[in-house]
Each structure stands twice: as C-alpha cells, then as structure tokens.
Amino acid sequence: MKKTLLFLLLSVSMISISAQDETKPEDKSKPVRFTFGTGVLVDNQTVATPYKGGLELQIHHRFSLIENYHNLFGIYGAANTRLGLNYGITD
C-alpha cells in the first residue's frame, strides 16, 4: 500500500514538472529611464549627476519652525536658502 501511494505521488508530481518545459516568449525590452531626473529629490541627495556638458540649477528654501501667529506660522522666522549650479564634467 505504501509503495503504491508513493508511486502515485511521484507520478503526479512528474506530470506537473513536465508541464513546465515550455517557456513564455520574452517581451521586447524597453529602454531604462533615469533612476532620478535630478541630483536632489525633495530634500535628499540622489545618485544622479548632470550629464557631460549639462547644467543643473537648484533652488532650496526652507522656512523656520511652524509655531504660532507671532512669526506667521514659520514665514516670518529665519529661513535657510541654497542656490546651486551643477555642471557635468563626465558622463
């Protein structure tokens, strides 16, 4: 009885394995886009650099803490501003 059950289990598993011989046709590959379009994403640096001969202008402006109406909820307080111009030397 055990040998018969083992034989049936092996034969059923072989049927499902033999059904996997066919491979699906591969789709035509599409060109890969940039990981990031620029060197900065929101407030974080990315791995992207400007292309050779390319210019990239970055303007960052951060307001102060949002506290109360005395500093107009962060607008009237101190601000951090950064202007950056990146030039790509190599690809």
Cα separation of 84 and 57, whole Å?
6
Amino acid at 21: D
pLDDT band at 16 (very low <50, low <70, confident <90, very high): low
Cα separation of 50 and 84, whole Å?
13
Residue spans of the domains in the chain: they are 57-91
Q: For residue 56, with 0-12 CB atoms within 10 Å meaning exposed, 13-18 middle and 19 or more buried, which class applies? A: middle
Q: In the numeric block, which tokens belong to residue 6?
A: 């083992």
pLDDT at residue 21, as a whole number: 58
Q: What is the pTM of this model?
A: 0.50
- 29 has pLDDT over 60: yes
Cα separation of 50 and 59, whole Å?
16
CA-based R_g, the chain, Å: 30
Stronger pLDDT, 38 or 27, i.e. the higher one: 38
